[in-house]
């Protein structure tokens, strides 16, 4: 049916396709598409992690900003110092 050269060429191409599929994790993707519960819980966990990470990140950046603004106030720069002092007072008043 096939000549010897065509069989070898076909086998080489099939090997290449197999390697590409293994590298692209197609088997894992197909498994995940079939298992809806696992996809749901994985996405739920990813969403919760992103939310917590965002909250922690905003908290750290805000606290660092307030810390540096307080340091600027202690330098007694006339215009900037008053402005920063007003911002810090607003934050202190609105803090729970």
Tens digit of each residue's pLDDT (9 = 90 or more) over 37-67: 887 888 899 999 999 999 999 999 999 988 8
Which residues have CB under 8 Å from 2's CB, separation 6+? 10
d(CA 41, CA 15): 35
In terms of C-beta density within 10 A (0-12 exposed, 13-18 middle, 19 or more buried), how is residue 84 classed? Answer: buried
Instruction: Please report, rounded to a whole number, the percentage of residues in the chain having pLDDT higher than 70.
Output: 92
Whether pLDDT at 68 is above 80? yes
d(CA 94, CA 90): 6
Q: Give the predicted TM-score (pTM) of the model.
A: 0.48
């Amino acid at each position: 049916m096939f000549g010897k050269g065509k069989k070898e060429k076909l086998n080489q191409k099939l090997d290449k396709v197999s390697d590409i599929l293994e590298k692209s994790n197609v088997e894992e993707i197909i498994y995940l598409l079939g298992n809806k519960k696992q996809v749901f819980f994985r996405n739920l966990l990813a969403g919760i992690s992103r939310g917590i990470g965002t909250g922690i990140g905003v908290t750290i950046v805000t606290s660092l900003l307030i810390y540096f603004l307080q340091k600027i106030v202690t330098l007694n720069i006339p215009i900037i110092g008053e402005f920063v002092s007003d911002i810090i007072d607003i934050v202190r008043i609105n803090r729970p």
